[in-house]
């Protein structure tokens, strides 16, 4: 701004404030200096001084214009237009604007700006069309429903109503179509148009497995309804999706497949027979169930599980004893639908053959317990107390020394079957004993341990009579029996 480019304006407008603004733009805001230069040039133009400064900016401050206009550094402050009233108001009556210029984009030489609202430049001012654009003398156009012309002599737009031909009336015979009076452009026109409300209401009743679909075409107004297969199985008028189980038969396992029967257009139902297991465990019988394919095993008798893992079946109210164990007896009871084996064990009283009179043993009716006629014997335990002396060592206190004493049965009897005398001898002796330990006190003051036999119980025990049998018939032989 201090250069020779603006030298002519320095006397009219001081550049100092604009130079300071330019430095601020460049140094602090990192902006171009073009705005400050443009402001100074504009102030110079207001003083009637035109400065062509942009060509000295080395392309940094170029001014871009629309394609219809050109750049002028010193154009008119008010650009003339084709609008006479605008020119009279802003141009002809503003004498103070004659010597003023401004920088900007203007219409090229030998053209004039059509209006202030556009960048259109025309060679001559004609008419203004309805869109605000210029119309040349002799041009014709339609505006609304009028035919307009730009009069070549008066440059005035003259319009007349458009003449419409008499519209043809078509006959609407197809279903769903009705006659419609509509305006096309500026003239009336009758056409046949589709009205879905005029289409007949169709109630499609498709069979199970089929569904109604609607199809339309450009040649018809009303839709067509058709039944198409749904890709399902049908049994007893019930639809089943592919993969679903179909309850077709009690002894069949049926599945809806994904394959279609070409004759019925329905999916095939594939069935396989159900195999029933009729094998029942011991004590159970297979019984059919009405309405079902397979029956079930129903208990019909009691089942006794033996220790050797064998099983024995019994009917209701039947009794049974295992072989070799007559003291156990089972009975079969029924409670509701349950068969319950009841075990009864017989506990026999103590039985000692040695106290029986020979040939008197017998077994009860069940074959469990044995009884006999007992001998009238007296074999008792005698209780005495005494001191035990061993090698001069003696117990500090007397101890109990038990003994057996009494008579046991002894007999001799002729056996006709053996043709000899049968002898029976029995001794009264200890039945059970135990070992007991005592402490002995010796004369030298020492103590020693000593164990002895203690009689717990006594009884009659069969022994060998040690006598010869008499075998010769008709002879009498005496035998000495030992007790």
Give the angle 198-202-205 at the CA atoms, nearest 5°: 175
Residue 326 and residue 220: Cα distance in Å, rounded?
Answer: 102
* DSSP type of residue 81: B
Nearest residue to 74 (alpha-carbon basis) of 56, 99, 91: 99
Q: Is residue 142 part of a domain?
A: no
How much is the pLDDT for 473? Answer: 40
Residues 408 and 341 in one domain: no
Q: Is residue 392 part of a domain?
A: yes
Provide the domain limits for residue 418: 377-463
pLDDT per position as a tens digit, 257-281? 999 999 999 999 999 998 999 999 9
Q: How confident is the model at residue 93 (pLDDT cuts 50, 70, 90)?
A: low
Residues 85 and 18 in one domain: yes
Residues 22 and 108 in one domain: yes
Domain finish residue from 90, 114, 130:
130
Residues 242 and 330 in one domain: no
pLDDT of 480 over the 60 cut: no
Residues 311 and 399 in one domain: no
Residues 39 and 78 in one domain: yes
Residue 194 and residue 67: Cα distance in Å, rounded?
Answer: 51
How much is the pLDDT for 435? Answer: 93
Residues 382 and 331 in one domain: no
In angstroms, how far is CA 191 from the centroid of its own chain? Answer: 60
Cβ atoms of 66 and 105 within 8 Å: the answer is yes
Residues 13 and 103 in one domain: yes
* Residue 92: φ, ψ to 5°: -70, -35
Residues 253 and 300 in one domain: no
Residue 426 and residue 483: Cα distance in Å, rounded?
Answer: 7
Residue 176 and residue 190: Cα distance in Å, rounded?
Answer: 16
Residues 332 and 437 in one domain: no
How much is the pLDDT for 61? Answer: 85
Provide the domain count of the chain: 4
Please tell me the pTM assigned to this model: 0.34
Q: How confident is the model at residue 471 (pLDDT cuts 50, 70, 90)?
A: very low
Q: Kind and range of the H or E element at 20?
A: helix 16-27
Domain finish residue from 101, 130, 159:
130
Q: Is residue 330 part of a domain?
A: yes
Percent of the chain scoring above 90 in pLDDT: 34
Cβ atoms of 422 and 412 within 8 Å: the answer is yes
pLDDT per position as a tens digit, 377-397? 678 889 999 999 998 999 989
Q: Is residue 77 part of a domain?
A: yes
Domain finish residue from 238, 273, 308:
273
Nearest residue to 227 (alpha-carbon basis) of 244, 248, 250, 202: 202
* Residue 384: φ, ψ to 5°: -135, 155
Q: How far apart are the first and last CA of the chain?
A: 169
Neighbour-count burial of 54, counting CB atoms closer than 10 A to its CB (0-12 exposed, 13-18 middle, 19+ buried): buried
Q: Is residue 47 part of a domain?
A: yes
Concatenated DSSP letters for 261-307? PTTT-SEEEEEEEPPP-----TTEEEE--TTSSS-EEEE-SEEEEPT
- CA distance to 176, 211, 259, 277, per residue, from 223 (Å): 10, 16, 31, 58
Residues 239 and 329 in one domain: no
Residues 341 and 382 in one domain: no
367 CB-near residues (< 8 Å, 6+ apart) = 326
pLDDT of 470 over the 60 cut: no
Task: Please report, to the nearest 10 degrees, the dihedral formed by the alpha carbons of residues 133, 137, 142, 145 taken in order.
Answer: 110
Weakest mean pLDDT among 22-36, 290-304, 442-456? 22-36
Q: Is residue 156 part of a domain?
A: no
How much is the pLDDT for 459? Answer: 85
Rg (CA), the chain: 71
Q: Kind and range of the H or E element at 73?
A: strand 70-76
pLDDT per position as a tens digit, 221-243? 998 889 999 999 999 999 999 99
Nearest residue to 299 (alpha-carbon basis) of 285, 315, 279: 285
Q: Is residue 144 part of a domain?
A: no
pLDDT of 92 over the 80 cut: no
Nearest residue to 34 (alpha-carbon basis) of 56, 12, 7: 56
Token pair 């156990």 is at which residue?
Answer: 328
Residue 65 and residue 319: Cα distance in Å, rounded?
Answer: 128
How much is the pLDDT for 377? Answer: 64
Q: Is residue 80 part of a domain?
A: yes
How much is the pLDDT for 99? Answer: 66
Weakest mean pLDDT among 116-125, 230-239, 339-348? 116-125
What string of H, E and C letters represents the secondary structure of 237-262?
CEEECCCCEECCCCCEEEEEEEEECC
The residue-averaged pLDDT of 340-347 equals 91
């Amino acid at each position: 701004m201090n250069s020779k480019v603006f030298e002519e304006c320095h006397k009219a407008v001081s550049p100092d404030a604009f130079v300071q603004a330019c430095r601020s733009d460049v140094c602090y805001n990192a902006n171009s200096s073009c705005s400050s230069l443009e402001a100074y040039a504009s102030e110079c133009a207001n003083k009637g001084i035109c400065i062509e400064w942009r060509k000295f900016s080395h392309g940094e401050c170029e001014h871009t214009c629309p394609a219809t206009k050109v750049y002028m550094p010193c154009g008119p402050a008010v650009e003339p237009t084709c609008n006479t009233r605008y020119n009279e108001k802003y141009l002809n009556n503003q004498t103070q604007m004659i010597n003023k210029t401004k920088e900007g984009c203007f219409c090229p030489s030998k053209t004039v700006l059509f209006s202030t609202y556009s960048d259109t430049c025309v060679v001559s001012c004609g008419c203004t069309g309805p869109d605000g654009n210029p119309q040349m003398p002799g041009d014709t156009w339609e505006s609304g429903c009028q035919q307009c012309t730009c009069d070549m002599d008066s440059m005035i737009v003259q319009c007349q109503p458009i003449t419409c031909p008499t519209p043809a009336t078509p006959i609407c015979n197809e279903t769903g179509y009705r006659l419609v009076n509509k305006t096309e452009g500026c003239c009336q026109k009758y056409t046949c148009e589709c009205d879905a409300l005029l289409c007949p209401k169709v109630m499609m009743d498709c069979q199970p497995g089929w569904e109604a679909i609607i199809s339309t075409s450009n040649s018809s107004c009303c839709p067509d309804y058709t039944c198409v297969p749904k890709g399902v199985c049908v049994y007893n008028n019930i639809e089943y999706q592919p993969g679903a189980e179909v309850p077709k038969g009690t002894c069949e396992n049926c599945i809806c497949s994904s394959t279609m029967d070409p004759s019925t257009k329905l999916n095939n139902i594939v069935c396989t027979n159900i195999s029933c297991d009729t094998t029942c465990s011991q004590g159970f019988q297979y019984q059919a169930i009405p309405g079902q394919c397979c029956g079930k095993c129903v208990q019909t008798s009691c089942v006794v599980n033996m220790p050797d893992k064998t099983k024995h079946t019994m009917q209701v109210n039947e009794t049974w004893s295992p072989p070799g164990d007559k003291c156990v007896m089972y009975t079969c009871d029924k409670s509701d639908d349950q068969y319950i084996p009841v075990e009864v064990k017989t506990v026999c009283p103590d039985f000692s053959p040695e106290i029986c009179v020979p040939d008197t043993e017998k077994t009860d009716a069940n074959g469990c317990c044995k009884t006999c006629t007992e001998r009238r014997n007296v074999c008792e335990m005698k209780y005495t107390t005494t001191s035990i002396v061993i090698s001069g060592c003696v117990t500090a206190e007397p101890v109990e020394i038990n003994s057996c004493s009494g008579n046991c049965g002894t007999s001799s009897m002729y056996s006709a079957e053996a043709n000899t005398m049968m002898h029976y001898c029995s001794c009264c002796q200890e039945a059970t004993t135990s070992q007991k330990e005592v402490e002995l006190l010796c004369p030298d003051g020492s103590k020693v341990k000593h164990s002895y036999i203690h009689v717990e119980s006594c009884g009659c025990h069969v022994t060998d009579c040690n006598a010869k049998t008499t075998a010769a018939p008709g002879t009498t032989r005496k035998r000495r029996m030992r007790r």
